[in-house]
Amino acid sequence: MKQTKKPTTTPTTKSAKKSKAKSIAKSGSDTAMKSSAGSSSGTILIKSGAIHTASDSFRADLLVEHGKIVQIAAKIDTNFCHNAKVINAAGLDVFPGGIDVHTHFELPFMGAVSPDDFSSGTVAAACGGTTTIVDFVIPSRGQRITEAAKMWHNKADGKCAVDYGFHIALVEFNDQVAKDIPKVIADGVTSFKCFLAYKNALMVDDAQLLEILYHARENGALVSVHAENGDMLTFLMKHLLESGNTAPRFHSEAHPAIAEAEATHRAIVLASMAAAPLYIVHMSCNEALEEVKIARSRGQMVLAETCPQYLLLDDELYNQPGFEGAKWVMSPPLRHFSNQDPLWEGLRDGFVQTVATDHCSFNYATQKKMGKEKFTLIPNGIPGVGDRMNLLYTYGVCRGRFSPNQFAAITATNPARIFGMYPQKGTIAVGSDADLVFYDPKKKGKITDKNTLHNVDYSAYNNFELDGLPVLVLSRGVVVSKDQKFTGDTAHGRFLKRQPFTPSDWGFPEFEGF
C-alpha cells in the first residue's frame, strides 16, 4: 500500500525531560562524526541541516526512530529526545539517499564475471551516497524467470550494504514467460527490460517486444528498453572486423547514434500501439532524446534515463594510445561531446527523469584485455555506482546546471516514483525511511584510479575534481558511511518489494486495455 503522509512540520515540544542526547557529530563542515558505526538505529536527532527534497529547500531538524523519519520541525528540543544520538548537520546539504536503478553486480557477461559483487558494489554505493540499488536479473534463454530471480536472490540476499530491488530482463517471450510475469510482479519485481541489441544473445524482436509490453501493462509493470538496433550493430561489427579494424575505437563506430535513435523510435511506436508506458535506459545521444521529446509532445508516457558517462565523458577517450580506450567500451558507447549539453538540458527540462550508472565493472588488466585482438570481445561496461551522486552534485548542482531540488528529483525521487518505491524511498518526509546523504559543500576531492570505491583496477573518471563530498550516509537510520569510508554491515540491506507502475502518478490516465 502507498503511504499517504506528506512532509509535516510538527510543533516543538516544551518538555523539560533531562537531556540524555549524545552528540555524534561536531560542527557541520568539519564533520567529526562520532557515530557508533554500523550500529542499529535507535533515536537520532539531526540538527540544523539544509534539507533539499524534489520540491523544497528548508533548514530544519529531523527526528529518526527505528529507521524512519518521524518528525520534521524548525527546531526539535534535544530535551525531548530521550537517549537520542545527535548529528549536527549545520553547514551540510541533506538529500534523500541516492537511488541507482541500473546496476549489474556479479554479472556473467561476454566471457567474464563483473568483479563488483553485491557486497563490494553496495559498499561503493553507500560510500558514494547511494542507499538503494536496483539490479538486473538476466535469465538465460529457456530459463524460467522465476528461477533466474532465485539465482539473483542467492547472489544478493544477506550480502548487501544498502537496500536493493530487481528488474528482470525478458530475453524471449513465450507462454511460460506470460504465466510467470504476474508471479514475479507479486514477488515485488515490477519492471522488465528488453534488449533491442545483442543479437543472437539477449535481443528480442518486435513481435516479442509487443507481447511483453502488452502483458506487462496488463499486470501493472513497466518495460524498459536498451535501445540500439542489434541488426545494424551486427552488420557494422562484421564489416569493420573484415576490414581489419579491430581496435577499441571501432566499438564506437559499430554503435552509431543512428542505431540508437532508430531503436528508440521503434520502441516508442510499439509502446504506443500496445498502449503501454515505456522507460528508455542509458540514453546517450541527442538523436534518441529528440525521439523522446516528440513522443512526450504528443502525450505518450515515455520516460528516459541517462548516465554520468554520457553527461561528462566523450568519444575522444577511444583515441587514447594503445588499448587504453577499452576502459570505456560500453553500449551505447561514449558520444561526441556535442551530445552532452542536450542531455543536461533534457534533465533540466524534464524530458530525462533519471540518472543511473549502468555500473558493470571489468578489470582492465585481465578482463578488458580479452578483446585485445578484436574490439567485439571486450566485455562491455564501466564502474560508476559510487561516483554518480558525487559527479552530479559537483557538475550538476555546484556548476549551476540544476538546482539542489532537481538533484534530489533526478537522483532519488524520480527513480523511486517510477519504480514503485515512493514514498518509502526517494524523499525526506514523515513516514519515509531515514535514507539520507549529507554533503559538505566545502570539502574538495578528486576521483582517481587509486582511490576508486569500486573493486576494479581503474576509474572511468580518473582525475575528475569534486566540489563537495558526502560526509555521512544513513540507510534506514544506520550510519553506513562516514567521509566515504564504509561503516556499515554488508548484511544490512533488505530486498525491496516494489509497487506496480502507476501512470496516474505522472498525470497520465490509466491505460485502457484492448
Query: Which residues in this chain contact Zn ion in the complex, by CB under 5 A?
Result: 358
Pairing verdict, β 57-65 and 68-73: antiparallel
Residue with cell 542499529: 40
Minimum Å distance from CB 137 to Zn ion?
A: 12
Give Rg (Cα) of the chain: 22
Q: Which is nearer to Zn ion, 93 or 358 (CB)?
A: 358
The CA–CA distances, whole Å, from 83 to 21, 235, 416 equal: 5, 66, 32
CB of 315 within 8 A of CB of 285?
A: no
**What burial class does residue 186 get, using C-beta atoms within 10 Å of its C-beta: 0-12 exposed, 13-18 middle, 19+ buried?**
exposed
**Cα(163)–Cα(99) distance, rounded to whole angstroms?**
10
Minimum Å distance from CB 104 to Zn ion?
A: 6
Q: Which is nearer to Zn ion, 166 or 438 (CB)?
A: 166
Three-class HEC string of 170-200 = CCCCCHHHHHHHHHHHHCCCCEEEEECCCCC
Minimum Å distance from CB 385 to Zn ion?
A: 12
Q: Which is nearer to Zn ion, 61 or 358 (CB)?
A: 358
**Cα(425)–Cα(476) distance, rounded to whole angstroms?**
10
The angle at the Cα of 295, spanning 266 to 56, to the nearest 5 degrees, equals 130
Q: Which is nearer to Zn ion, 31 or 331 (CB)?
A: 331
Q: Which is nearer to Zn ion, 256 or 381 (CB)?
A: 381
Minimum Å distance from CB 226 to Zn ion?
A: 7
Minimum Å distance from CB 224 to Zn ion?
A: 10
**Cα(51)–Cα(449) distance, rounded to whole angstroms?**
32
The CA–CA distances, whole Å, from 204 to 47, 197, 209 equal: 52, 8, 6
Q: How many CB atoms lie within 10 A of CB 510?
A: 9
Q: Which residue is nearest to Zn ion (CB)?
A: 358
Minimum Å distance from CB 233 to Zn ion?
A: 15
Q: Which is nearer to Zn ion, 51 or 360 (CB)?
A: 360
Minimum Å distance from CB 134 to Zn ion?
A: 11
Q: Which is nearer to Zn ion, 291 or 358 (CB)?
A: 358
**Cα(197)–Cα(229) distance, rounded to whole angstroms?**
6
Minimum Å distance from CB 86 to Zn ion?
A: 41
**What burial class does residue 502 get, using C-beta atoms within 10 Å of its C-beta: 0-12 exposed, 13-18 middle, 19+ buried?**
middle
Q: Which is nearer to Zn ion, 368 or 482 (CB)?
A: 368
Residues 6+ apart with CB under 8 A from 438: 31, 49, 87, 89, 92, 93, 94, 470, 471, 472, 473
Q: Which is nearer to Zn ion, 358 or 457 (CB)?
A: 358
Minimum Å distance from CB 330 to Zn ion?
A: 9
**What burial class does residue 142 get, using C-beta atoms within 10 Å of its C-beta: 0-12 exposed, 13-18 middle, 19+ buried?**
exposed
Q: Which is nearer to Zn ion, 260 or 358 (CB)?
A: 358
Minimum Å distance from CB 357 to Zn ion?
A: 9
